[in-house]
Structure 1
């Protein structure tokens, strides 16, 4: 009989509550769960439903999967949700009848989905975004002309949240369909910076297919089309495209193009404070993380540069969790390549602590954990547990 994924959940809630330096009463207030319920859950005398699990995880600022004994439970919820997302977008031009919240309420719901995406909280996304997409498609049809551009912008951001789940889960066909919907909605926003953000996401299609040179061409065209204004949002939009172009040029083995785009990104990054612009983090720290990514992408002869960039530096805590965990995943690969397996494992553990779902679903994590397991056959039980957690083979 498979183990109950909620077995021992009270102990884990108590552990993460102490890590967060919250009392039981503070956790109850933050999660809107009765104090007596929190006490019973932590003592193991009461079960935990999905609603309470997600409320407590929200209050603790962690992914719900971190509280489950069987992380496969969270992954199965994501896999089961993919057809639901597919169904939600299949009738975008002929949505079902249903309620439509006010524009401020819709904006608040989409902002929440964006926060979940940046924090790599995919379980939250799949629990809410499919219905939200259907509601947004209804709103697009019913909206007066003066609101249509705003709703189109919300459609782009909601599709991007859903795409984050699809892409990380390896559902590349679904990801491509979501990106096509973003490209359909972006001209209706009347905002060229939204189109720039869609070009940034569109590059996933080329990463997935391994058509890196073509992806680079698309990004360079988007850079040429992006507004060249001096205000921070336009600067960040161009800078993000240069960062993305640098990485895909690295994957293509084009070092000259990669470093040219990095140089442009660095110049633009120095002009803005680190922040999230149109759903994408950009600024000096993000550029530095992408410098590490480019060095790892280029491989031999460049990996030492990744280690140099990471020496005595760590991504600031206010960066999005997905980006911070990505830094440690890239760093782990560089450390493994230069013969530092212990350091690589430590980096993977840091990535997991920051964003467990993102780390677990990352192909490089599974590959590197499997390599570490082969290199250190007699290693501690923690390495075996980590490899099993991320399904490394």
Structure 2
């Protein structure tokens, strides 16, 4: 082996990040193939590559047996012990069979195989790098596009953004920078294939983790996400610290945090609501920005009937039913919305056992004040009592 080949191995190790052992194994396998092909040899052989001395040798390998059936693969115990008395049955006898002109033939024949093995090793490294980044957000550059897919350069690999994972209202051109969410990494004959998305709820989750320190450090937790990409999303949050407002943390000063995320998603509207383990409160919160008068729960059917003021029925349902649909996805409960008038006609409102204070406190009315509301409930009965006395 020439010093040039040894230098090439060192260069490959540095440039491609592939260990020398992987490259040597590829070369040895290639040389075995070259030996069998060029010298019509069917026996088992082993190639020994000595990097320090710069030599290569070919050894035939034969199993020690009582009686030989194929002299190319086996050797009798008697013949083996003539070579070395220490040989026993089932041992392997190795004998050097390096052809005189093997170096020249091997270099020509093994070149393609070595190149392929090195390429496979490089692909393996890329696969291992990106498979660990599944469910993560990455920055990329649009490299090209066709009728169905966008192809995003991530550095060492080109990712595919299928049309079904693209936000309908967005359009890109080559060299545009873009944030994408890695959904899947596969091994293929052409190397690792990375699939990314702009519509996956995980993208919204990762963007909030990047933008909101309280989510990143675990103080505020994202409980669920419902998303119709490019149009509107709902996200429920919960604080693990009573002194931290989960909704306020996500919204940020003057809405800066949520606005930054909305801008990244081409103006997608984002509703942030507080999660609660009580489905009555959680469903009421999820229907924000509409006001909810009552939530009746059927545990066995995992469904709810929600009563809203007549003038807010369309707001609660949303355009094309979007608000109600997203609220149902967010909470995991079926939601049937009734106007106050319809609910009274059906005899389901007001309920006899419903905790109205819990529902009213869930309202996101900016003028709602819990303390004043409680005071009003106490004062009004007293005034009526006094009128009766007069």
TM-score w.r.t. the length of structure 2 is 0.26
- Between structures 1 and 2, the one with greater strand share: 2
Higher normalized contact order (CA 8 Å, seq sep 6+, divided by chain length): 1
TM-score w.r.t. the length of structure 1 is 0.26
